[in-house]
Amino acid sequence: MVEVEKKKITREGLRNAFKLYKYIKPFRREYGIGMFFLIGSTTTSLIFPKLLGDLVNSANKEIVSRSLNEVAILLGVVLLAQSVFSYFRIVLFVNVTEKTLAFLRQDTYNHLIKLPLKFFDQRRVGELNSRISADIILLQETLTTTLAEFIRQIITIIGGIALLAFTSLKLTLFMLAVLPAIMILARVFGKFIRKFSKEVQSQVAESNTIVEETLQGIQSVKSYTNEFFEIARYRKKTEEIAQVGIKSGHYKGAFSAFIVFGLFGALVAVIWKGSSLLANGELVAGDLFSFVIYSAFVGGTIGGLATVYTSIQKFIGATEDLFEIFKEQEENLQEITTLEANDELHGQISFEDLTFAYPSRPDENVIRNINVDISANQMVALVGASGAGKSTIATLLLRLHDATSGGILFDGKDSREFSLSALRSQIALVPQDILLFGGTIRENIAYGKSGATEEEITEAAQKANAMEFINRFPEKLDTVVGERGTQLSGGQRQRIAIARAVLKNPKILILDEATSSLDSESERLVQDALEKLMQGRTSVVIAHRFSTIRKADQILVLEHGQLIEKGTHDELTQLEDGIYRNLSELQFNLN
């Protein structure tokens, strides 16, 4: 879990925090009732010490009108009321918080998943996951506990001091001069010690890194005879940990001594002063008893305010980080049920002066002034060295990125004039690295078409040559593929991805050929499935093996983002010193 940064409480931070109100607003009535029970719970807790004092005073019938039994009954009633108030306060706050955070989680996820690809290119998945997990968990803690605790502490301090002053103004002034100062010093001292504890943890983490690296790379350690170097490095780190730990121990001992002497000394001082007032007849025993309990309440609460303030700082930081995501512009997406006539694709594609640079590198064009016409139902292959721009063209066809200048036309119409969701719903990508979700084979194939029937799923698997291995599993289509499909071989994952594309029934197909890493039998089955899939639709194939693209209607040879050569296999192999010819001869010679 990512550590949430503490931030100063600023006006901007508070504005971000108040944005949460729109998520709480539907449940504000429940939250208001919860606040009522919170105030009731805190008020009854303040009455309790007063009644305890009355219980002590009830032994002296000259100064108390209530009997011992009456006070005991009142204490029982107060305890029962406090228990009821506490129960309903917690239940209501938890109910509101859980509903609010479910709403917030859904809103955050819905926004994230609609953001353009360029956003994810510049963010780590772990960071984004932290926003929707660690940050929201912190908000949960704040809404359920911290906010209630803050209000409770404020009421306790104000109410406690008022009751103390009512009991004895002289003793109250004396207590306020002694006890809160001790509690605040204890808090500062404790924070100082925690700094050393964090340093120890950090040093231990570094030592664990040494162990992990050396054991994972044990072959390198031994081949370079660096065992004794690593032993010395680990010894030095562990000795540093020991020194920091020893230093921390001294401070912990001093803190313990301070607490014993300072806190209990402050209480002794308050009791001593109260006893003096008691001896002078300015205070009665029961009131002194109540005063000591109130002093402990107020002193502990003042000391605890620092913890609540720290939690609020983290809360402000979490809301600021979370709502930063909401500033990002979503893609204009719609749920597709039926295609509008003007959004239907027929398969013709044109690149007109197509130029593109990634947002992270705006001065570096990875696609440069490409002009190509692709007829409907043609098979077009993209060829070139790694980094030539082949996969980038695939992302531009899907409008995962938009062209920097120029553009892509479908059926003579600019791609940006189509509904984005409608466009993507008619294009299927079978990538080189197949990502399967951690469910069943059925669920992964059905991802190509929401609401697909059993017959459609089976037929798609059959066309993809996937039933050949699916029927060998005891659970057949209900076989769980494991995280990212790790329970299946590369060829099996590829055929499930093809079945998913068959089920989608796209008008345009993009294939990032993945047969190069497969064994010959898997390659044959996958290639056969791909040929079936390409029939009757426009296919753009990112080619790695030239043997698979000899029948292509057009072969586009890219170099550094530019279109260098264009033609059929036979035409390109006739070019003297042609790039395609040289690459082709080199590949076939190697084979």
* DSSP bridge pairs for 427: 508
pLDDT at 111: 83
Q: In which region does residue 435 sit, left (phi positive, over 0), alpha (psi from -120 to 50) or beta (all else)? A: beta
C-alpha span between 182 and 259 (Å, rounded)? 9
Q: What is the model's pLDDT at position 590?
A: 46
Q: Hey, what are 410's tokens? A: 């479908």
For the chain, what are the domain ranges? 1-167+309-331, 169-282, 434-505
Separation between Cα atoms, residue 134 and residue 139, nearest integer Å: 9
Strands 413-414 and 427-430: unpaired
Taking each continuous run of H as one helix and of E as one strand, the counts in the chain are 22, 10
Range 1-167+309-331 classified under CATH 3.60.20.10: no
How confident is the model at residue 535, as a pLDDT?
A: 82
CB 24 within 8 A of CB 245: no
Dist. CA 152–CA 147, nearest whole Å:
9
> Each residue of 170-204: b (16+ CB within 10 Å) or e?
ebbebbbebbbebbeebbebbeeeeebeebbeebe
DSSP 536: T
Taking the C-alpha atoms of residue 463 and residue 481, their distance in angstroms, rounded to an integer, is 20
SS3 55: helix
Tell me whether residue 575 is exposed, middle or buried, using C-beta atoms within 10 angstroms of its C-beta: 0 to 12, 13 to 18, 19 or more: middle
DSSP structural state of residue 339? -
Q: Are 492 and 558 within 8 A, CB to CB?
A: no
Q: Name residue 256's amino acid.
A: S
434-505 CATH fold: Rossmann fold (3.40.50)
Q: How far apart are the first and last CA of the chain?
A: 49
Amino acid 1: pLDDT: 43
Supply the pLDDT for residue 198: 64
pLDDT for position 485: 67
DSSP state of 143: I
What confidence score (pLDDT) does residue 580 get? 77
Tokens of 470: 């699916």
Sign (positive or negative) of CA dihedral 264, 269, 270, 272: positive
pLDDT of residue 67: 67
How far apart, in whole angstroms, are the C-alpha atoms of residue 572 and residue 578? 7
Residue 556, H or E segment: strand 554-559
In angstroms, rounded to a whole number, what is the distance separating the alpha carbons of residues 109 and 419?
A: 22
* CA atoms within 13 Å, Cβ hemisphere of 566: 8
Cα 347 to Cα 344, 470, 566: the distances in Å are: 9, 32, 20
**C-beta of residue 536 within 8 angstroms of C-beta of residue 508:** no
**Would you state the pLDDT for residue 266?**
72
**CA–CA distance, 491 with 465 (Å, rounded to integer):** 10
| pLDDT on residue 242 | 78
Q: Environment class of residue 338 by beta-carbon count within 10 Å: exposed (0-12), middle (13-18) or buried (19+)?
A: exposed
CB contact at 8 A, 187 and 306: yes
| Mode of pairing for the β-strands spanning 349-357 and 405-410 | antiparallel
What residues contact 405, with CB distance under 8 A and at least 6 apart? 353, 355
pLDDT score, position 201: 67
Question: Contact 396/403 with Cβ under 8 angstroms?
Answer: yes
Domains 1-167+309-331 and 434-505 share a fold: no
Residue 427 parent element (H or E)? strand 427-430
Integer Cα distance of 21 and 272 in angstroms: 49
- Whether 393 and 367 have beta carbons less than 8 Å apart is answered as yes
* pLDDT tens-digit profile, the chain (591 residues): 444 455 555 566 566 666 677 777 888 888 888 888 888 888 887 777 777 666 666 656 554 455 666 767 777 888 888 888 888 888 888 888 888 888 888 888 888 888 888 777 776 766 677 667 767 776 766 766 677 777 777 887 787 778 777 777 777 777 777 766 776 676 677 667 666 666 666 677 677 777 777 877 777 777 778 788 888 888 888 888 777 777 777 777 777 777 667 667 777 777 777 777 777 777 667 767 777 777 777 766 766 666 677 777 777 777 777 777 787 788 887 777 777 778 888 888 899 898 988 877 888 888 898 898 989 888 898 888 777 888 888 888 888 888 888 888 998 888 888 888 888 888 888 887 777 877 888 888 888 888 888 888 888 888 888 888 888 888 888 888 777 666 777 778 888 888 888 888 888 888 876 555 555 666 677 777 777 778 888 888 887 777 677 788 888 888 888 888 888 888 888 887 777 777 777 665 544
Residue 509 to residue 524: CA distance in whole angstroms: 20
- Rounded CA-CA distance 316/12 in Å is 9
Q: What is the pLDDT of residue 451?
A: 80
